[in-house]
Amino acid sequence: MTGLALNCSINKRSLFDRKHYFYADLPAGYQITQQRVPIAVNGTLSYSLCTDHKMSQMVTKTVRIKQIQLEQDSGKSLHDDSRSQTLVDLNRAGVGLMEVVMEPDMCCGKEAAAAVRELQLILQTLGSSHAVMAEGQLRVDANVSVHHPGEPYGVRTEVKNINSLRFLAKAVDYEIQRQIEELENGGTIPNETRAFDSKLGCTVPMRDKEGRQDYRFMPEPNLPPLILYDTKSLPANINHQQVVNIDRIHERLPDLPSVKRAKLVEQYGILPEHSFTLLNEDGLTEFFESVVKRTQMKPKKVIGWILNDLLSYLNQHSLTVKESPVNSSMLADLLNLLEKKEISSTAAKQVLGELWKGEGKTPLEIVKEKKLELIQDQEALEQICQAVIDGQKNEVMAIKAGNHKVLNKLIGLVQRKTQGRSNPVLVKQLLEKKLLE
């Protein structure tokens, strides 16, 4: 399924091999892998990244997928420098894993992180893996080399077991700069395995990289070839439950992240960059769509409240969408009050702050308790506007002289006097009527 989602050619007959090397976290002395004929080859992964901090400019790039192979995981070495000890955790040794091998089509840490994030979303969409990097369900080995344009690739180093996208970007960028400085100073780059030290923000050497000949690859004698079928090659009178049909899997592929983003843009009229944020935050798309269904507010306005207000609260308190004390129903009720012009946007933000405390109150209860309803008495509002005009002689003269930007100051003063309970649009109309009549 992952191979099909990454536009790979699926080998209907793939083979297993033994890769021999001696290491403390590999008790058998060899690893079962697919070196000769992997299960999938020659795919592509398209990913997008922003070219500015505001995510207003998105660029789409493509990285080639060399192959996808099945192999055994190794154990985990735990280095205790304070005691000069190394402990070995063998719990995952021998467990099957899937390795996606990409071609060298990326040129910086930002691109590598964006490509892996898109892969992570695809794996989660397919159900191939939960792909939570912090829990070791998705790990990245980054191979880095530098060269002058038009020249062959340089000697590469491999930065092993990177467990976050942020660390991946930092590790790749650091290693690129380290290799450039080493070569410019007359040094050489050894073919080695390195690790990224997140505390120091640099890569450190682990061991020399073994050449392919050192692995002594041989066919795995205990595992037969992995045979897959398509509709044309499926034998007659066979139990379909006992074979893998590539075509049937292809038919059952769900909408991939790229398709989901396009549908969000088309259905709700939001900006493409907003669709990326919705999908990048786990559970945020479902939250957004639930709010849209429950509120009368247009999706373009809803997205602003979710991305600018809700996400800022979540990030400030290091919470996920699923951990938010403000659920989609609460936010929808709040936005309905705002859309019906029962409260101002200033009051709505205040109510959101109260909802965040998680005291179990509804938006309407908070509005009544805090007396945040919009002033419906237009005559009383006109009196407040007149009082502000009478106290701001210089601003009034400026407006009458043609400087209409000053009007925003008067609107702000009315808002302050009413403690955010006045409708800014109505206030503007009343002030303009009084000043320009």
Which one, of 300, 369, 381, 368, lies nearest residue 335 by Cα? 300
What are 5-43's pLDDT values in tens digits? 999 999 999 999 999 887 777 888 899 999 999 999 999
Token pair of 385 as six digits: 């506007």
DSSP code, position 229: B
CB 255 within 8 A of CB 34: no
The H or E element containing residue 427 is helix 424-436
The overall average pLDDT reported for the chain is: 90
Res. 214: pLDDT tops 80: no
For 168, residues 6+ apart whose C-beta sits below 8 A from its C-beta are 109, 112, 113, 116, 140, 142, 162
Higher per-residue confidence, 346 vs 126: 126
Q: Around Cβ 416, how many Cβ atoms within 10 Å?
A: 12
- Looking at 22-151, which runs of residues are DSSP E strands? 30-33, 40-50, 58-72, 76-80, 85-89, 96-102, 140-144
Rounded to two decimals, what is the model's pTM?
A: 0.82
Res. 218: pLDDT tops 90: yes
Cα distances (Å, whole numbers) of residue 145 to 106, 191, 234, 253: 11, 10, 44, 36
Cα distances (Å, whole numbers) of residue 167 to 172, 295, 419: 8, 39, 46
Residue 159: per-residue pLDDT: 95
CB 116 within 8 A of CB 106: no
What are 251-307's pLDDT values in tens digits? 999 999 999 999 999 999 999 889 999 998 889 999 999 999 999 999 999 999 999
Res. 213: pLDDT tops 70: no
The H or E element containing residue 204 is strand 202-208
The H or E element containing residue 17 is strand 17-20
CB 159 within 8 A of CB 175: yes
For 42, residues 6+ apart whose C-beta sits below 8 A from its C-beta are 8, 9, 64, 65, 66, 67
- In angstroms, the CA 197 to CA 185 distance is 24
